Amino acid sequence: MNSRVVAIVGIILALWMSLGRWLFGIGGTLSWWYVPTIGLVFVILQLWLARRLTVTRERGKRTSRSTIVSLVLAWLCAIGFGLTVPDSADGTLQSILGLASGSAFSVEMSIALCNPLGIIAFALAIASLGFAYADARDPKPEEDEVAEGGMVPHPLS
């Protein structure tokens, strides 16, 4: 997976998660809380992951399927979070899905879904970062590769 794509999509999704409601005319005061808490943290995670993917590629290793799958699932949950997160517009809480359906029940359901989607998006982003760290590691030495003193040689020597 290309690290530039991860960085660009990560930035776009962070903007979507924190300010996406403004595109639909229902932006409000809660957006200013979402930007530093949700948006900034998600951008940092995605840029960190992009850097780890670059390190993996520079070491001649392949990005694992677990890294890619967890990242794509994190992105899907981030899209869902952006659709369901509420904002205070005109004194009421509204979400994009609630606005599209026009029903008060849909607004309440989308608010109920936004927290799990956000938590899962962040958990999967952190998991993909952990998998990316594991992708760049050298394999553990076998028993045959252990030096005479019983110690594994230092990887930087």
Answer whether residue 145 is part of any domain: no
pTM of the model: 0.84
Strand partners of residue 78: none
Question: Is 151 within the bounds of a domain?
Answer: no
Percent of the chain past pLDDT 70, that is, above it, reads 87
* Average pLDDT score over residue span 95-105: 76
Residue 115 counted as domain residue: yes
Distance separating alpha carbons of residues 85 and 78, to the nearest angstrom: 10
Would residue 156 count as lying in a domain?
Answer: no
Domain of residue 51: give its range. Answer: 3-137
What are the Cα distances from residue 58, in Å, to 3, 46, 51, 63, 118?
12, 18, 11, 11, 32
Residue 148 lies in a domain: no
B/e letters for 3-42, b = 16+ CB within 10 Å, e = fewer, are beebbebbbebbbbbbbbbeeeebbbebbeebeeebbeeb
> How many angstroms separate the CA atoms of 80 and 77, rounded?
5
Q: 3-19 vs 65-84: helix axis angle to the nearest 10?
A: 20
In a domain, 153, yes or no: no
C-alpha–C-alpha distance, residues 139 and 41, integer Å: 31
Neighbours of 100 (CB within 10 A): 12
Q: Does residue 16 register a pLDDT over 80?
A: yes
CA distances from 145 to 15, 69, 103, 139, 141 (A): 49, 33, 66, 12, 6
Residue 148: the pLDDT is 58
Question: Is residue 99, in this structure, part of any structural domain at all?
Answer: yes
User: What is the number of domains present in the chain?
Assistant: 1
Q: What is the pLDDT of residue 143?
A: 60
Note whether residue 72 is domain-resident.
yes
Per-residue pLDDT band at 95 (split at 50, 70, 90): confident
Q: 25-41 pLDDT, tens per residue?
A: 888 888 889 999 999 99
pLDDT digits (tens, 9 = 90+) for 50-64: 999 999 999 999 999
